[in-house]
Structure 1
Amino acid sequence: MPALANIPTFTQVLVIGGGPAGSYAATVLAREGFDVTLLEKDFFPRYHIGESMLPSCRSFLQFIDAEEKVKKHGFAKKPGAAVKLHQHKREGYTDFVAINPEHGAWNVVRSEFDEILLRHAASCGVKVHEGIRVTSLEFEEPGNATATCFENRKAKSASWSSDTCCGKIAFDWIIDASGRTGIISTKYLKNRQFNKALRNVAAWGYWTGGSVYMPSTKRENAPWFEALTDESGWAWFIPLHNGTTSVGIVQSEENSREKRARLRETMPADDVTKALYLQDIGLAPGMQKMLADAKLKSKEIRQAGDYSYSAKAYAGKNWRLAGDAGAFIDPFFSSGVHLAFAGGLSAASSIASSIRGACCEEESANFHNLKVGTAYTRFLLVVLSVYRQIRAQESMALTDIDEDNFDRAFDIWRPIIQGKTEVDPELTQKEILNTMEFCKNVVAPTQPEMVEAVKSRFPLLFADGAPALTPEKVESMTEVDGTPLDEDTRNVLLRNSARKITNALYDGTRHFGSEVLGGFYVNLVRGHLGLVRASI
């Protein structure tokens, strides 16, 4: 139980939410010497979905000295990931540990992983209080008596309640990391916007006794992602260290609704969810084989609306949004915790900069807006490119892509995709489609052995600084240096080019600290965390 009497009436920085974004932001700020209080509505450990990590999470954990705690816990090692989008082609495999075994990630039980982060925050000086729900915020009066918008108003205090009492805490700065609740975005700013192309629903359960992907090899325990044969969505298969496997189905809301309606005609309504879940597993033949001898452990099938959303603003006067409180994309690329860490670090860096006077609050807030919005858009484009393949659609709801964020996201891709740095800066729908066509090859059906074989044959195409090859260029190539190109070679070349523009998505703090946005980059030296004005 939390020590309710110890909840202060004032704190320098208030963090709402103890998930990865909140714990991370709070830890970073506390390690910089700031007074931080974190209020979490649940008591940890608590259940959460999102079990597959990206390798980039390791560098974020290293930055707050938490990596060893996670390593020692015994989570299932994730050496890579297998993706099968076409039933008549081999799956693609991304090897995380080929160069260095320490580059792998983990499949985690989130209740345990999140508790490690929250306890680490407390050990770093964060005042952590569980079982405390923030019910409302108080903002300063607007300068204009007729103004009602909260976006440009300073937040002053938060009212909280528990099962036994309630109170109020004032603050100088606030980070909303309250997950999908997103109290600032949904209750006050009302600026959450949903992506029509990714109105999905997920259903999942836990199995025991099944097989794994490529057992007794270096790829054992790699998660498996597979497109459903009816083109309605995809399935995940994630082995966990507690002897269970997380198995889920993600599909469009429309497809799910139609399937459920048909099943309701043949069975009681209470049986539909489980029946649909098992039926859809049958649409993933590769996963079905690994579940051949497995038993469903879950008594109930969990469900959630995986609606992709973002916010029109992620920062304002003394407030920041981080993690799912600001944006959620889709579970396909396991980007949730990565974006939570990145958003938490951005929120902490921008607040530290304002407190230390390195720049004004308007500049700090603008940096966080750009950092979160750009990161979201880059992942969104890659996810949409994959969904175009899964659903065999030629177009998606591209109007959902924010034009300004796309321009910033595309800035680092233009030279690679187009082979030049000076191009027409005006955004076009064709440019978005071309980018998605390029990005989709990040999951081209290749294997590490194929990549090494092609690299040995055409080393110049893989050399540092070698230009990326557009899909059109690869398709037009019949030979290289007199050697004919087969389909496997083309797939490897396409994947190699796509990786050049998506590597930044999976990089951790190195890329985080070097990218200039709004005229600033982040100084990640402990004790001096903040924004640095880029020289012109």
Structure 2
Amino acid sequence: MREHTRVLVIGGGPAGSTTAGLLARQGVQVTLLENATFPRYHIGESILPSVLPVLDLLGARAKVEQHGFVRKDGAYFEWGPENWDLNFDHLTGAGGYSYQVIRSEFDKILLDHAAELGVDVRQGTKVTDIEFDQGRPVAAGWVAAGDRSVTGKIGFDFLVDASGRGGLMATKYLKNRHYQEAFKNIAVWSYWRGVTPLDRGPAGAIAVCSVPYGWFWGIPLHNGTYSIGLVAKRTTFTSERERLGGIDAVYFDALAQCPRIAAMVEGAERTGDFKVEQDYSYTAESFTGPGYLMVGDAACFLDPLLSTGVHLATFSGLLAAAAISAIVDGELSEDEATGFFAKAYRQAYERLLVVVSFFYKSYNRQSQFFEADKLTRRERHMLNLYESFLHIVTGIEDLDDTRDGTGALDKVANRMRAQGDIDTQGGIVAGHNEAMNSMPNSPQRSVAGLYLELEPRLRIRRLGTPVVEAE
């Protein structure tokens, strides 16, 4: 391994691979250290359409298209007494579809592609510590995962922490991670074979179906299995586990109260043990500092409800690559570029946080985990509202401004507020002027006079500079 690299990326998941790959395409020297040896297991199998344009920028879309993943044309919701479809073919700018992926395979495609682009990828290499110089990270100690006698140190100019939920910078050095009190949930899932496919909704859809104290996901995978998981508030899950006698008992009790998913797994075989995650909703107080950026789960994670994990990972990787490229090229100062990254990433996270809060706002109801909101009842009759909501929950709004300059979530909130459907004290209104701003990818949505340009090359532009047309 070289002793010094321009950019060190810690972690080879979608956030790290995206950042490293895009930087390599810009001609920046990048070294990526990944503790595991891919393929490795990871949850988060339902991908949003917003990921596909990032795959295009990486040049990796064809590999994903050809792999055989289940094509996902939308989602199907049974939310309390209501049910409805989200059809991705209503979207603009993203191809109208995405994929249900086996993450071990999807993540390996992205990491291998980053290596092909010129990234020095070192798997089975764990970063043990970071060395600082006056508050700026300048070097990382590492150890070979398979042989702890093999160690070393690598210096760098810029650090990208893509270390996932472990969050090396946030948890070990900055101590600035805060958990969302409203989303202290627990997820329990397993895999099933012989599942009866969902008989409604768009082709390849994820099924999201509520039960009195939580909700189930059902995701079809191309190896013939289904990922089926339960999400419940942690306190409720704990009391149910004590009442029923175990995690599996809670899962099957909830399944019995979810007719749609129960019918799908009738006669099917569970293929493995249950997996459990909890306290997974958090955000770092800051995403940047002198010489470093935090991307993907290392910075924040929201909730599995709207399948935003890979979207935020690849989106933040895109922003990080653009910011570092601008610094390396001398187009922006470090403060300008990292400030743009932090503002844009947090903006995307907070806007989705508002939407998920909107869905979960009935957590305190004893008889029902959440009730069908008026948004779901009105969507059949108000196409514009439906399409605005659709663009938000699929992440597209972070890549594609609305033409009239109004954010889609602003439209939803304003329309519903005018109709008396939300309380001005509710979570959807609180701080919405900041949380609902559109992604700054046009002069009209610039942040501190800066905006993101994807073509003809990835860069951050200043307002007033001439736009170079693609040849």
Query: Is TM more than 0.5 here?
Result: yes
Counterpart residue number, 2:180: 195
Partner of 1:14, secondary structure, is: strand
Residue 112 of structure 1, aligned match among 105, 114, 123: 105
1:46 paired with 2:40, answer yes
Give TM-score scaled by structure 1 length.
0.73
Give TM-score scaled by structure 2 length.
0.83
Task: Quote how far apart the aligned CAs of 1:293 are.
Answer: 2.6
Q: Distance in 1 between the 2:2 and 2:138 partners?
A: 14
Task: Quote how far apart the aligned CAs of 1:525 are.
Answer: 3.4
1:71 paired with 2:65, answer yes
Residue 157 of structure 1 contacts residue 169 of structure 1 at CA under 8 Å; is this kept in 2? yes
Q: Distance in 1 between the 2:448 and 2:198 partners?
A: 44
Counterpart residue number, 1:159: 141
Q: Distance in 2 between the 1:193 and 1:281 partners?
A: 32
1:278 paired with 2:252, answer yes
Q: Distance in 2 between the 1:443 and 1:31 partners?
A: 43
1:205 paired with 2:205, answer no
Residue 344 of structure 1, aligned match among 317, 327, 337: 317
Residue 340 of structure 2, aligned match among 358, 367, 372: 367
Counterpart residue number, 1:238: 219
User: Can you list the C-alpha shifts for 1:306-328, whole angstroms capped at 9, x where unaligned?
Assistant: 43101111111110000000000
User: Can you list the C-alpha shifts for 1:406-457, whole angstroms capped at 9, x where unaligned?
Assistant: xxxxxxxxxxxxxxxxxxxxxxxxxxxxxxx9x966655756xx677999xx
Q: Distance in 2 between the 1:377 and 1:472 partners?
A: 19
Q: Distance in 2 between the 1:344 and 1:513 partners?
A: 21
User: Can you list the C-alpha shifts for 1:112-140, whole angstroms capped at 9, x where unaligned?
Assistant: 00000001101100011100000100000
Q: Distance in 1 between the 2:100 and 2:378 partners?
A: 23
Q: Distance in 2 between the 1:221 and 1:37 partners?
A: 37
Counterpart residue number, 1:220: 203
Amino acid at match of 2:86: T
Residues 328/442 of structure 1: CA separation in 2 closer, same or farther (3 Å cut): farther
Task: Quote how far apart the aligned CAs of 1:382 are.
Answer: 0.3
Residue 38 of structure 1 contacts residue 128 of structure 1 at CA under 8 Å; is this kept in 2? yes
Q: How many residues align?
A: 425
Task: Quote how far apart the aligned CAs of 1:515 are.
Answer: 3.8
1:471 paired with 2:453, answer no
Partner of 1:388, secondary structure, is: coil
Residues 452/22 of structure 1: CA separation in 2 closer, same or farther (3 Å cut): closer
Matched ranges for 1:8-407 at <5 A: 8-86=2-80, 88-89=81-82, 91-97=83-89, 102-140=95-133, 142=134, 153-162=135-144, 163-164=146-147, 165-214=150-199, 219-228=202-211, 230=212, 232-264=213-245, 272-298=246-272, 300-389=273-362, 392=365
Q: Distance in 2 between the 1:532 and 1:79 partners?
A: 34
Residues 515/472 of structure 1: CA separation in 2 closer, same or farther (3 Å cut): closer
- Structure label with greater radius of gyration: 1
Task: Quote how far apart the aligned CAs of 1:187 are.
Answer: 0.7
Partner of 1:203, secondary structure, is: strand
Amino acid at match of 2:320: A
**Is the helix fraction higher in 1 or 2?**
1
1:524 paired with 2:424, answer no
Partner of 2:281, secondary structure, is: strand
Partner of 2:209, secondary structure, is: strand
1:534 paired with 2:453, answer no
Partner of 2:77, secondary structure, is: strand
Residue 51 of structure 2 contacts residue 315 of structure 2 at CA under 8 Å; is this kept in 1? no
Partner of 2:171, secondary structure, is: helix
Residue 514 of structure 1 contacts residue 522 of structure 1 at CA under 8 Å; is this kept in 2? no
Q: Distance in 2 between the 1:99 and 1:534 partners?
A: 28
Counterpart residue number, 2:469: none
Task: Quote how far apart the aligned CAs of 1:263 are.
Answer: 2.5
Q: Distance in 1 between the 2:418 and 2:227 partners?
A: 40
Residue 73 of structure 2 contacts residue 204 of structure 2 at CA under 8 Å; is this kept in 1? yes
Q: Percent identity?
A: 37
Amino acid at match of 1:305: Q
Residue 225 of structure 1 contacts residue 237 of structure 1 at CA under 8 Å; is this kept in 2? yes
Residues 453/51 of structure 1: CA separation in 2 closer, same or farther (3 Å cut): closer
Q: Distance in 2 between the 1:158 and 1:441 partners?
A: 51
Residue 227 of structure 1 contacts residue 390 of structure 1 at CA under 8 Å; is this kept in 2? no
Amino acid at match of 2:155: A
Residues 160/454 of structure 1: CA separation in 2 closer, same or farther (3 Å cut): closer
Residue 358 of structure 1 contacts residue 530 of structure 1 at CA under 8 Å; is this kept in 2? no
Amino acid at match of 1:73: H
Residues 391/204 of structure 1: CA separation in 2 closer, same or farther (3 Å cut): farther
Q: Distance in 1 between the 2:241 and 2:190 partners?
A: 18
Residue 76 of structure 2 contacts residue 202 of structure 2 at CA under 8 Å; is this kept in 1? no
Amino acid at match of 1:532: R
Q: Which runs of 5+ in 1 are unaligned?
A: 1-6, 143-152, 265-271, 397-436, 456-462, 477-497
Partner of 2:89, secondary structure, is: coil
Partner of 1:197, secondary structure, is: helix
Task: Quote how far apart the aligned CAs of 1:511 are.
Answer: 4.9
Name the Cα RMSD after superposition: 3.1
Q: Distance in 1 between the 2:271 and 2:90 partners?
A: 34
Task: Quote how far apart the aligned CAs of 1:98 are.
Answer: 5.2
Task: Quote how far apart the aligned CAs of 1:276 are.
Answer: 1.7
Q: Distance in 2 between the 1:340 and 1:464 partners?
A: 26
Matched ranges for 1:354-503 at <5 A: 354-389=327-362, 392=365, 443-444=376-377, 470-471=415-416, 473-474=418-419
Task: Quote how far apart the aligned CAs of 1:392 are.
Answer: 4.1
Task: Quote how far apart the aligned CAs of 1:97 are.
Answer: 2.4
Q: Which runs of 5+ in 2 are unaligned?
A: 387-401, 422-428, 466-471
Counterpart residue number, 1:408: none
